[in-house]
Amino acid sequence: MLSQQILNGLVTGSVYALFSLGFTLIFGVQKLLNFAHGATFMAGAFIAYYCTISGMPFLLAIGLSMVATGVIGIVVDLVAFRPLRKRGNAEFPALVSSIGVDLVLISIAQQVSKTQVLNFPFGTFPVKFFNFLGLRISLLQIVILATVAVLVVLLIFYLKKTSFGRQVRAVATNERAAALLGVNVQSVFLQTFFIAGALAGLAGVLIGLLFNSMQFLMGEPYMLRAFVVVVIGGLGSVPGAIVASLMLGVMQSLTVAYLPSGLTDAIIFTLLFIVLLIRPNGLFGDANAVAGGTRQ
Amino acid sequence: MPSLHLEGVSKHFGGLKAVDGITMAVPPGEITGLIGPNGAGKSTVVNLISGVLSLTHGDIRLGGASISTDRADIVARQGVSRTFQNIRLLPEATVLENVMIGFHRREQSGLMANLFGLRAALREQREFRDRAHALLERFGLDEYAEFEAGNLAYGHQRRVEMARAIASEPAIVLLDEPVAGMNDVESDELATIFRELANSGMGLLLIEHNVGFVTRLCKQVYVLDSGRMIAAGDPHEVTRDPKVVAAYIGTSKH
Amino acid sequence: MINLYYAYQPIIDFFLLSVGFGYSQQIALRAGVFSIATAGFAAIGAYAVAILVTKTGFPIVGAVVLGMVIAGGAGLVLSLPLARLRGAFQAIATLAFVQIVISLLLFAEDFTGGALGITGIPRVVNTGVLIFIVAFVMYVMWSIGRTGLGRIFDALRQEESVAASLGVNIGRYHAFAFILSGAIGGLFGGLQSLYVFQIEPHNFGFAFMVNVLTVVILGGRTTLLGPIMGAAIMAILPELARPLAEYRPAVNGVILILVITFLPNGVGDEIVFWFRRRRHAAAAANRVKVKEAKNAVTSS
């Protein structure tokens, strides 16, 4: 029973990872919190749903949804972040304007769906279960784990091995220095926003499939969980986000199974709080980044 | 008035010795100079004294009591005030308000008096306002009292910062390049003010790049190069010291 | 006139409550704290009052005061661990605080009624009470603005290192800001309880947080007029934009983006600043005239 819970937790956690990676990537390069990330996730699920019911092959629907949410990411950067960045000290204003984008997306989704809960039509994804070592795992769960693993590997490869990745890391370390070295900072921003949006969109589709229920507010709890993930993993840290997502997924599935219902949120947010206090840079972040020899 | 003593003070950033075992004194009623080429570690010294940075080695004492582990605000409350090399004003506040915040150390009225606008708090504010106006007049700034500080010319901003730093009548004032970017007339005006402040008993530490200005004003000058104290003493002798000349000429070649 | 009042009474009451929550949000932002904890403080105040009044028969005024004290205390407790955090981390920590409050309210069903909340709260708060208390809070905010406290908050927002260099104990003043934000949030949370008859945890969720933030962003983060303008726009807008009623969140979102981008100080603050600048310009012009007159006298 315990191992089954852990397995289920890992599956949910892997989707958290997909979602949180984009969020942490944006923070890494811009040092800004993108509150529209939850709505982008929801948009991914919605777009895939409407494409599917209009008769499009499911894989194509997913691809289209990822492109669309990637574009939403770019729009967020252009509309909500870029004008504020020019002014400097955008930390708080960007939080506000991304909430603005979040509200717009949610409002549109609410009208489109008429506030209804949406479900993918039966058979969108084959319902098939496997048993091994006493564990019950669905084909969907296997596909999710595999997809996330492949994407994470691709993303890390992209960030570590390609010239774009080097530019992203240069901007994350020191934006001004990167610009002086000839990195096109704006284009790095747009690309990270596209990737972040596309990953969030895919996460939305996967969650929509996994729980077979989508509604216009579905992004909010995931947004809140992304905060937990990025704080525990270290804001801006890619490996931290992955490990923390899996941890969170497992922890959540265990608390739901073994503790009184309703305590899950209290526990995970208290955990977030404690980590913020003890290690503001996360369990896997650079502990020295904060201090720098100042007197406290 | 107490004097300020630095003893064997060092600050290392990783392997870099930004300040390396310096010893110096800032006595009351005098203007003391700290000069050195760019990157010598002068501003680091200011940040060490004012409690922004923590010391790697050594001790800083104010009138006998160590302040080397005190937080910046505690150092300030004991009477050590400063200006910043890169001017730091409250850009949205008016010039007058920028100076008025300088009186914080002298504030007597409690939280409740502030929250409910009690007479004691308001009277105190009026007093600060009058004194701030007087200070602005002294620095030739009173006509800008109601301007937003961020819109002021560079030289004026520097002077607002100085007025703010001396508002609470601190024992020691650390002036980080106060005449940078000013013309001769302006720096002469400031020199007069600095002399008056010293005569009133304040100890001033003048951190400067401009050797001439320091030589004119200071009784005692310390010369810093690459974090080390290479000379100290009478300004005219010090500036003739071959090591000092070499340090200045050496850096100007780069 | 009387009929007009009855027609618009709910809007007026909504406006007054928004102003109150707005001040709770504003005082934190004014002191440079990126807190979005007002929703949590409001929830604490609202539940404290609801529980005290419906379950223990506590006198109503006493319950409101106690709710305010508890929420202020929560602000103090929250400020201690947050002293080391800044910016995005502060925002996330306060968001976590709100989530913890809400999940505990959902969990402690015996006291809070869980997701169903508490009903049957006596409806004793009316427009008059709200006006009186908003006026009291405004007086406090006005006092803060003309004493040293407001100046220190402004300094902390604009340049923390300057405040420290002048002897301001940053942690202590951030704690004051949190206590004030908590007390005001708790006070109006309690009033909301006694106004709406029924409360539940989700009244204080993400939507509440966004609304309060909107009030202050629209209105302004530093002046007394700020939250009033912000709350007024929020109250009147749905009336003006009836055809867009279904897209109300979208309208709010667009307004948030436009205001933070093009009017970053907020409507209320901009109005106050405009008048201030005009007054100063007039004073400066006057000084020039006086000077010229003096010069004319001395040269003649």
Asked whether C170 and C163 are in contact (CB, 8 A), the reply is yes
Q: Which chains touch A (3 or more CB pairs under 8 A)?
A: B, C
According to the model, what pLDDT value does residue A87 have?
Answer: 83
The residue among A104, A268, A279 with the most chain C CBs within 10 A of its CB, best to mutate, is: A104
According to the model, what pLDDT value does residue A290 have?
Answer: 39
According to the model, what pLDDT value does residue A286 have?
Answer: 54
For residue A189, pLDDT beyond 80: yes
CATH for C129: 1.10.3470
Which range in A272-286, B237-251, C151-165, C228-242 is most confidently predicted, on average pLDDT? C151-165
- Domains of chain C: total: 1
According to the model, what pLDDT value does residue C72 have?
Answer: 98
Per-residue pLDDT averaged across B47-75, rounded? 95
Least CA distance to A294: which residue of chain B?
B53
pLDDT in tens, B101-113: 999 999 999 999 9
Q: Do B69 and A295 touch (CB under 8 A)?
A: yes
Domain extents for chain B? 6-79+170-254, 90-164
User: Binning pLDDT at 50, 70 and 90, where does residue C88 land?
Assistant: confident
Q: Do A294 and B13 touch (CB under 8 A)?
A: no
Q: Give CA angle at B112 (B110, B113), nearest 5°.
A: 65
For residue B235, pLDDT beyond 80: yes
**Secondary structure of residue C275 in the 3-state scheme:** helix
Distant-in-sequence, close-in-space partners of A133: CB < 8 Å, separation ≥ 6: A3
* Distance (Å, whole) CA A81 – CA A230: 20
Per-residue pLDDT averaged across C268-280, rounded? 90
Q: Does B8 touch chain C (CB under 8 A)?
A: no
Q: Do A296 and B52 touch (CB under 8 A)?
A: no
Q: Is the dihedral of CA C104, C110, C116, C119 positive or negative?
A: negative
Q: Do A91 and C87 touch (CB under 8 A)?
A: yes
Asked whether B16 and B40 are in contact (CB, 8 A), the reply is no
According to the model, what pLDDT value does residue B106 have?
Answer: 94
Asked whether B154 and B181 are in contact (CB, 8 A), the reply is yes
Give the sheet arrangement for strand B228-233, strand by strand. Answer: B80-82, B172-176, B203-208, B31-35, B220-225, B228-233
For residue C69, pLDDT beyond 60: yes
Please name which of A23, A34, A37 lies closest in space to residue A85, comparing C-alpha atoms.
A34
pLDDT in tens, A126-157: 888 888 888 889 999 999 999 999 999 999 99
* Distance (Å, whole) CA A177 – CA C48: 53
**Secondary structure of residue A182 in the 3-state scheme:** coil
For residue A16, pLDDT beyond 50: yes
* Among B104, B113, B122, beta carbon nearest to C152: B104
Per-residue pLDDT averaged across A52-80, rounded? 96
Q: Give CA angle at C184 (C180, C186), nearest 5°.
A: 115
According to the model, what pLDDT value does residue A278 have?
Answer: 84
The residue among C76, C165, C272 with the most chain B CBs within 10 A of its CB, best to mutate, is: C165
Q: Does B65 touch chain C (CB under 8 A)?
A: no
According to the model, what pLDDT value does residue B181 have?
Answer: 84
Between A108 and C286, the more confident residue is A108
Span of A108-112, A160-164, B216-220, C136-140 with lowest mean pLDDT: A160-164
Asked whether A72 and A22 are in contact (CB, 8 A), the reply is no
Joined together, the tokens standing for residue B89 give 């004003």
Q: Give how far B172 is from chain C: nearest CA, Å.
A: 13
Per-residue pLDDT averaged across B119-131, rounded? 95
According to the model, what pLDDT value does residue A289 have?
Answer: 42
According to the model, what pLDDT value does residue A296 have?
Answer: 53
Q: Give how far C281 is from chain B: nearest CA, Å.
A: 9
According to the model, what pLDDT value does residue C55 have?
Answer: 92
Give me the count of residues in chain A: 296
Q: Which residues of B touch C284 (CB under 8 A)?
A: 143, 146
* Domain-embedded: residue A246: no
Q: Is the dihedral of CA B7, B12, B18, B20 positive or negative?
A: positive
According to the model, what pLDDT value does residue C83 have?
Answer: 82
Least CA distance to C170: which residue of chain B?
B73
Q: Does B80 touch chain A (CB under 8 A)?
A: no
According to the model, what pLDDT value does residue A2 have?
Answer: 87
> To the nearest whole number, what is the mean pLDDT of chain C?
92
* Domain-embedded: residue C57: yes
Give B 13-72 residues with CB within 8 A of chain A: 13, 51-54, 69-72
Please name which of C174, C195, C208, C213 lies closest in space to residue C40, comparing C-alpha atoms.
C208
Distant-in-sequence, close-in-space partners of C248: CB < 8 Å, separation ≥ 6: A107, C238, C241
Q: Do A262 and C81 touch (CB under 8 A)?
A: no
Q: Do C96 and A27 touch (CB under 8 A)?
A: no
Q: Which chains touch C (3 or more CB pairs under 8 A)?
A: A, B
Least CA distance to C290: which residue of chain B?
B143
Burial A219-247 (b: 16+ CB within 10 A, else e): bbebbbbbbbbbbbbbbbbbebbbbbbbb
* Distance (Å, whole) CA A110 – CA A73: 20
According to the model, what pLDDT value does residue C181 have?
Answer: 98
Between B254 and A152, the more confident residue is A152
Distant-in-sequence, close-in-space partners of C234: CB < 8 Å, separation ≥ 6: C15, C18, C211, C214, C215, C218, C252
- Domains of chain A: total: 1
Per-residue pLDDT averaged across B88-96, rounded? 93
According to the model, what pLDDT value does residue C1 have?
Answer: 59
Span of A27-31, C23-27, C260-264 with lowest mean pLDDT: A27-31
Per-residue pLDDT averaged across C273-298, rounded? 81
According to the model, what pLDDT value does residue C284 have?
Answer: 77
> To the nearest whole number, what is the mean pLDDT of chain B?
92
Joined together, the tokens standing for residue A35 give 């509150």
pLDDT in tens, C40-58: 999 999 999 999 999 998 9
Distant-in-sequence, close-in-space partners of B223: CB < 8 Å, separation ≥ 6: B35, B36, B229, B230, B231, B232, B238, B241, B243, B244, B247
According to the model, what pLDDT value does residue A291 have?
Answer: 37
**Secondary structure of residue A214 in the 3-state scheme:** strand
Give B 3-22 residues with CB within 8 A of chain A: 11, 13
For residue C178, pLDDT beyond 90: yes
Fold of B6-79+170-254: Rossmann fold (3.40.50)
Q: Does B193 touch chain C (CB under 8 A)?
A: no
Q: What percent of chain A has pLDDT over 70?
A: 96
According to the model, what pLDDT value does residue C299 have?
Answer: 67
pLDDT in tens, B9-57: 999 998 889 999 999 999 999 999 999 988 889 999 999 999 999 999 9
Per-residue pLDDT averaged across B183-202, rounded? 94
DSSP codes joined into one string, chain B: ---EEEEEEEEEETTEEEEEEEEEEE-TTSEEEEE-STTSSHHHHHHHHTTSB--SEEEEEETTEE-TT--HHHHHHTTEEE--SS----TTSBHHHHHHGGGGGG----HHHHHTT-HHHHHHHHHHHHHHHHHHHHTT-GGGTTSBGGGS-HHHHHHHHHHHHHTT--SEEEEESTTTT--HHHHHHHHHHHHHHHHTT-EEEEEES-HHHHHHH-SEEEEEETTEEEEEE-HHHHHH-HHHHHHHHHHHH-
Q: What percent of chain B has pLDDT over 70?
A: 98
Span of B114-128, C46-60, C278-292 with lowest mean pLDDT: C278-292
According to the model, what pLDDT value does residue C5 have?
Answer: 76
Q: Do B146 and C280 touch (CB under 8 A)?
A: yes
Q: Which residues of B touch C158 (CB under 8 A)?
A: 90-93
Residue whose pair of structure tokens reads 């039966």 in the numeric block: A122
Domain that holds residue A87: 2-219
Pairing of strands B4-13, B203-208: unpaired
